[in-house]
Structure 1
Amino acid sequence: MNLTSPLLNKEAKTKFKRWPSWIGYAAVLWSALYGALHLYWLFGGAGYPFENEGMGLFAAMVTYLPAKAGSIVFVTLCLIAIGIGLVMQKRQLKPFSRWFAIAYLWGFSVALLLFIPDTTLIAAMAYAFLFKFDFNWQMLNQIFCIIGALFWMMAAVVYQRKTRHACEYCGRNKDEEPFFFVRWGRLLTVIAALAPLPYALIRFSWALDIPLGVDPQFLREFSSANPMARMTEWVFGSVCIVGGILTLGLIRKWGEVFPRWFPFIGGKRVPIMLAVIPASIVAIAVTAAGFVFTFGIIVEALHPVALGNILHSQGWGAMGPMIFWVPWGVALGLAAIAYYYRRRGRCSSCGRG
């Protein structure tokens, strides 16, 4: 058994490295499964995951659609994606059809990332630092949609590379120029590191019982209703600060080589994905939550009385810092991409580097 395990691991790694050959089929399979789920819900099946449940500003965009309408929309979107995905695997498309396919898949992916998740995903990640775990079917559905979005994004990237005759694995061709985001990586990283500071400042002030941006009565009621309120504020603020510091590692030497004082791994190179994957997960969760909240604020702004009531009862401190979440998430995601392209080595498929 010990002799075959390394061979099995090597075979699994080899198959994963061949991801451009199977990612399109994986995306099609995902759409078939998710489309079938919505077809089930369309005919009255139980477990429809998109319910507002009084979340208000923190509810996902799709919750504003009635259940049957939402299922019809998703069944249609998934069927179109399946058709495009299968055609992309078989033959080259005409220029107009090719760009329509690419635009549709990117639009579908972005919609899955922005319109499906709500604020519970980023909240669950934050509360995990307090050893509080609240995992349910709604959250599993959000994660499943994020996986589908990533599948279709990767499939679209592979197809784009095919159409411009570049390497499907690395995207390089003979006329390779530095990836656009690499030139802006430093600025994007600084923005991503600074963006969570307003939220951290608010949380630290509340932990110190300073009603910054909120009515003192609101802070008292909030603290009395939650015995762990102050600890929660300290943890949330600290997570933002530590996250900002770690983000700077995307442009610092210690983000490429572990410091010498690290036990066992000091002086060794930081695996690229050890930085890219966590940064990407946080970027997706933060962007989705920020989009939901920003959209809610815009809607409430169209009803000044409702917005005025919220501001009067809570204050700008309860909502204002979250407006920075969209630029925070977008900048962090792009900074992670820039880090990856800057550090990637020679392609094992085409040999370019």
Structure 2
Amino acid sequence: METSSPIIEGKIGKGFTRWPLWIGYGAAGWSLLYGVVQLYWLLGGAGYPFKRGEMDLFAAMVTYLPSKACGLIFVILCLLGTVIGIAMQKTWRGVLRRWLILAFAWCFAAALLLFIPDISLIAVMAYAFLFKFAFNWIMLNQIICIIGAMLWILTAVAYQRRTRDACEYCGRTENGNTFLLVRWGKWLTIIAALAPIPYALTRFAWALNIPLGVDPQFFHDFSKVNSMAQITEWVFGSICVGGGILTLGLIQKWGEIFPDWFPFIGGKRVPIMLAVVPASIIAIAVTAAGFVFTFNFFAVIFHFMPADTLLLSQIWGTIGPMIFWVPWGVALGLAAIAYYYRRRGKCTHCGRGNQN
């Protein structure tokens, strides 16, 4: 049943609000264009972004592959993505099995989110609070890949809904089953709020000249070299605590209605996307960086990666707290989705509502 307003239809047409109609083509088009770029790099073109360089220990996972092998893998994946993206839009169930199509879509999206980005994006966000800004082609390429991952995630969601006879726009079915994420939203939000605390405690300790998790001499030398060290640690620790408090808004009343003491907007409803979009962006950046930190932490601890004695003695304080970042990012992303599902209204396309 189609219940969308004719006025809205006239203004927006088949735009973003009707994303299931074109999202598969979007994912296929992105794959085709990025595959062409990867082929250009594979043939020796300039601008190849997957180099470890000065990042070394904090480099993206993809940088551990030889450039030729990496380029060939990406060209093949993007070629497959071009074909499968169109197949998902057309719902060609007889060409490939449903589970195989979905497996490719989710795995391709996960690879783009976890293996391409390094710690640059979360670093840029954090240092922006210190009024330090840096941007380059490597970060732009990471953003392009994250956009591609989002296209593939939405394509997978639309295809999954379509093939199980649910509404492509809201995911609701005739039997009105409640989404599992809504049931777990409270616990996911609490996990997301608590996960950055170990990192914050470490930063606050360093700001107070307590060498928590690192050698005292190393800490002393680092503080002498970096005159802004204490201010930086206070800021980074405060960002984590403040972010944790804001995260709790996903399950609190003030996360749905602005408190009365807010000027001009007090008492008004919080726009859903005002909470969902920032939380999702942070979740992506934190998860990607956390994946890099976690991989390198265990690689050094278990001697899969060469490391000197100095690095081994400092790793528990410098990188150790960041192993909580993957659960932080994943929980935050899922909590944001749960918040969206809980607050959304009646679907304007299928007419279903009153249930999540």
Q: TM-score range by the shorter chain?
A: over 0.9
1:283-313 deviation line (CA, Å, top 9, x unaligned):
1111111111111122223318945724554
1:153/1:53 CA distance change after superposition, 3 Å: same
- For 1:134, the equivalent position in structure 2 comes to 134
CA distance in 1, matches of 2:99, 2:338: 25
Task: Flag the 1:13–1:196 CA change in 2: closer, same or farther, 3 A.
Answer: farther
Amino acid at match of 1:200: A
Residue aligning to 1:175: 175
Alpha-carbon distance between aligned partners in 2 of 1:162 and 1:205, rounded to the nearest angstrom: 51
CA distance in 1, matches of 2:269, 2:241: 24
**1:99-135 superposed Cα distances (whole Å, 9 cap, x missing partner):** 1111100010011000000011111110011111110
Distance 2:304 2:142 in 1: 31
Contact kept, 8 Å, 1:61 with 1:115, in 2: the verdict is: yes
Counterpart CA distance in 2 for 1:8 and 1:67 is 48
1:57–1:297 CA contact under 8 A, matched in 2: no
Give, in whole Å, the separation in 2 of the partners of 1:49 and 1:306: 24
Q: Deviations over 1:242-282 (max 9, x none)?
A: 00000000000000000000011110101111101111111
Which moved further from structure 2: 224-233 or 177-186?
Answer: 224-233
Change (3 A) 1:9 1:128: farther
Q: 2:329 maps to what in 1?
A: 329
Structure 1 segments of 4 or more deviating over 4 A?
Answer: 7-10, 304-308, 310-313
Q: Partners in 2 of 1:93 and 1:75 — Cα distance?
A: 25
> Match of 2:30?
30
Q: Could you tell me which residue of structure 2 aligns to residue 81 of structure 1? A: 81
Aligned ranges for residues 101-112 of structure 1 at < 5 Å?
101-112=101-112
**What amino acid sits opposite 1:242 in the alignment?**
G
Q: Cα distance 1:237–1:164, how it changes in 2: closer, same or farther (>3 A)?
A: same
**Scaled by the length of structure 1, what TM-score is found?**
0.94
Q: Structure 2 CA distance, aligned partners of 1:163 and 1:315?
A: 47
Distance apart, 1:33 and its partner CA: 1.1
Change (3 A) 1:101 1:235: same
On the 8 A contact 1:286/1:326 being kept in 2, the answer is yes
Structure 2 spans left out of the alignment, 5+ residues? 1-6
Identity level (%): 66
- Tell me how far apart the structure 2 counterparts of residues 113 and 100 of structure 1 sit (CA, whole Å): 20
Is 1:318 matched with 2:318?
yes
**Distance of 1:341 and 1:58 partners within structure 2:** 35
Name the counterpart of 1:47: 47
Whole-Å separation in 2 of the counterparts to 1:285 and 1:9: 35
Q: Which residue of 2 aligns with 1:62?
A: 62
Equivalence for 2:198:
198
Q: What's the counterpart of residue 239 of structure 1?
A: 239
| Rounded Cα–Cα distance in structure 1 between residues aligned with 2:305 and 2:109 | 35
| SS of residue matched to 2:97 | helix
Which amino acid is the alignment partner of residue 293 of structure 1? F
Report the counterpart of residue 4 of structure 2 in structure 1: none
Gaps of 5+ in 1: 1-6
Give the corresponding residue for 2:166: 166
The alpha carbon displacement at 1:71 in A equals: 0.7
Which residue of 2 is the match for residue 254 of structure 1? Answer: 254
Q: How does 1:264-343 map to 2 (within 5 A)?
A: 264-303=264-303, 306=306, 309-343=309-343
Show CA shifts across 1:328-349 (max 9, x none).
Answer: 1111111111111111110010
Bigger shift: residues 314-323 or 278-287? 314-323
CA shift at 1:56, angstroms?
2.8
TM-score normalised by structure 2 residue count: 0.93
Equivalent-residue separation in structure 1 for 2:117 and 2:332 (angstroms): 18
Q: Which amino acid aligns with 1:272?
A: I
Output the CA distance in 2 between the equivalents of 1:91 and 1:157: 13
